[in-house]
Each structure stands twice: as structure tokens, then as C-alpha cells.
Amino acid sequence: MAEAYPHFELTPTLDADIAAAAARVRAARHVVALTGAGLSVESGIPPFRGPGGLWTTYGEPPMDGYQRFLEDPKAAWEARLNPKKEPWLAGLSETLGRAKPNDGHRALAELEADGRLACTITQNIDGLHGQAGSRAVAEIHGNYSLLRCLGCTRRFAGDELAVDPANLPPACPDCGEMVKGDTVQFGEPIPQDVLRRCYEEVGRCDVMIVAGTSATVFPAADFPMEVLRGGGTVIEVNPLPSELTPLATVALQGPGGEILARLLDHVRNPSAQLEEGRA
Ligand SMILES: [Zn+2]
């Protein structure tokens, strides 16, 4: 899956580095993955900003989106139900709706199925980890296809909650509070249940695989630092050097799909020769 990075060349030591990373994954007690937008680029989801970015193409969502929702939830819901009024929302929904998981998402799902990966924390709202088969996923910024109760944090998928356009915003059947899209908007706090779970996972984590993100934005920025402070290992998987690279225990440079698939292969089929003296 290197198509997204046509000019990328693998470094000569990469295979040995992947083997070393795999040895740490096999020896770990509690592996957690932390993923970001870079992992979904290979699934055809452009980054938000920059040339060809979603917001560059469709316009940016309002920087005070959550405040606007709270001030007039009915109007915010009307816009959600009629996304043509908000081109950025229509563009986002269409792009995310088309996207399919790539080899990187699949490799993490397989690691989880093998009992090697406890949880995937993601900054992505595209739901591709779940589509790839991952079960233990903490979506820091929500999931664009879900709704969430602002009272009890219950999530609603698809037609689980009937939304009546004549009676907006919809109310939670459990607690009566209003329901909004699960995607965390600008100005909106990270949902407490997700944040708590992230800190629980990070607190137990001794090996963290960071893929497709430089983890520079709160709260994700804290997670690899916390693992390193506790004496754990951080394995970085990014196509280009990032702010995390000098801090990472092992930095694997390359497209997430290819590198994670090879990491999975090494975890499943350890090569004693390559790892000797490196792990
Ligand atoms: Zn509720």
C-alpha cells in the first residue's frame, strides 16, 4: 500500500528495525496503538489542511462549532440533516463514507485478534479500525457515523435512534438529555468516558505503537510521553520524520499499511537471527 507515497524508499536497516520492534511487542505485557490521520491517508482520506485537504476543498467547519451547537442545537441539527447547507460537512461525509480500511488498519486488527494488542486509541473519526475488525478502540474525537448523548455518553449507531426532523434536537431514551453527532467539534471537550479509558490503557501500557501521527496535539501528545516516563517502549510508524522521531525507542519510517503489515509478520514469525543484539 505504498501508492500514497510513490517516492518513498525503504531504508536499509528497516527490516532489522522492524524485527527489533516486533521483539518488543512479543515481550510486552500491554501493547497499545495510537493512530492518527496519516494512517487513513492510504485509505483515500486526505488530511484536513494543506493542498488537496478536506477543508481546503470543502471549506472549514466553524471554530466555535460546539458553542454554536449548545446555543442553538435545533439549528445545528437542521444543518446536519441538510448537509448541502454546510459544504464541509457534505464533503467530509462523502469522503469518509467511501473510505475502506487499509493494510495498516488490518494489521492492528490482527494483532488484537492474536492477543498482542490490548487497545487502539485513535484520533480519527472515520471508523476504519472498527471496519477492519478491531474491537477495543477508543475514538478520542468520536466517530462520524455515530450519535452521542451529552448526558450519559451513550452512543447510537445507524437507526438505533429515530431522529424526528419536527422535534430537534433528539432526546436520549435513557436519560432525556440531548443527543448530538459523536464527532468532537472545535471547542468541545473530549468525552469523559473515552478520556478515562485512554488514561487507563496508557497507564498499563509498556509498548506503544504510534502510527500515522506525530502525537503533538493534546491529549494524544501525553500518551507516548507517559509510556516513556514509565520506562516503556514507543515504536513510531510514520512516512516522514516527526517531532516524535528523536524520542521514539524505535522509529520505523514508511507508509503505515506496509510497515504495520510487516511488523505483524515479524511478530508472528520471529527471526532470531535478525533480532540478536538489536532487541
Ligand atoms: Zn443519555
CA angle 125, 192, 144 (to 5 degrees): 20
Residue 222 has pLDDT above 80, yes or no: yes
Question: What is the longest distance spanned by two Cα atoms in the chain?
Answer: 67
Residue 149 in any domain: the answer is no
CA 117 from centre of chain: 15
Residue 137 in any domain: the answer is yes
User: What CA–CA distances, in Å, run from 3 to 15, 18, 219, 237, 256?
Assistant: 20, 21, 31, 17, 11
**From the CA of 32, how far away is ligand 1's center (Å)?**
29
Q: Domain holding 107: CATH number? A: 3.40.50.1220
Contact present, 111 and 117 (Cβ < 8 Å): yes
Residue 154 in any domain: the answer is no
List % helix, strand, coil for the chain (3-state, nearest 5).
40, 15, 45
Give the per-residue pLDDT at 86.
78
Contact present, 170 and 179 (Cβ < 8 Å): yes
**From the CA of 103, how far away is ligand 1's center (Å)?**
36
Residue 128 in any domain: the answer is yes
User: What's the domain range around 208?
Assistant: 1-45+101-143+189-279
Give the model confidence (pLDDT) of 23-56 as tens digits. 999 999 999 999 999 999 999 998 777 788 887 8
pLDDT band at 4 (very low <50, low <70, confident <90, very high): low
**From the CA of 179, how far away is ligand 1's center (Å)?**
8
* Residues forming a β-bridge with 252: 237
User: What CA–CA distances, in Å, run from 106 to 110, 256, 261, 262?
Assistant: 6, 11, 8, 12
**From the CA of 192, how far away is ligand 1's center (Å)?**
14
Residue 6 has pLDDT above 70, yes or no: no
Residue 273 has pLDDT above 70, yes or no: no
Residue 10 has pLDDT above 80, yes or no: no
Length of the chain: 279
Q: Quick one: which of 12, 13, 3, 15 has its CA closest to 262?
A: 15
Using DSSP, state whether 30 is helix, strand or coil: coil
Task: Work out the percent of the chain whose per-residue pLDDT is above 90.
Answer: 75
70 is written with which cell numbers? 449548545
Give the per-residue pLDDT at 1.
42
**From the CA of 160, how far away is ligand 1's center (Å)?**
13
Task: Work out the percent of the chain whose per-residue pLDDT is above 70.
Answer: 92
Residues 6+ apart with CB under 8 A from 208: 31, 32, 33, 34, 202, 223, 224, 227, 232, 233, 234, 235
**From the CA of 173, how far away is ligand 1's center (Å)?**
7
Contact present, 179 and 157 (Cβ < 8 Å): no
Give the model confidence (pLDDT) of 103-121 as tens digits. 999 999 999 999 999 999 9
Residue 52 in any domain: the answer is no
Instruction: Quote the number of domains for the chain.
Output: 1
Residue 238 in any domain: the answer is yes
Tally the C-alpha atoms within 13 A of residue 60's C-alpha that lie toward its C-beta. Answer: 8
Residue 264 in any domain: the answer is yes
Give the per-residue pLDDT at 59.
81
271 is written with which cell numbers? 527471526
Q: Quick one: which of 135, 101, 142, 123 has its CA closest to 260?
A: 101
Residue 92 in any domain: the answer is no
Rg (CA), the chain: 20
Active site residues: 141
pLDDT band at 8 (very low <50, low <70, confident <90, very high): low
Give the whole-angstrom CA distance, residue 279 versus residue 277: 6
**From the CA of 159, how far away is ligand 1's center (Å)?**
16
pLDDT band at 5 (very low <50, low <70, confident <90, very high): low
Side-by-side strand order, sheet with 179-181: 155-157, 146-149, 179-181
**From the CA of 152, how far away is ligand 1's center (Å)?**
4
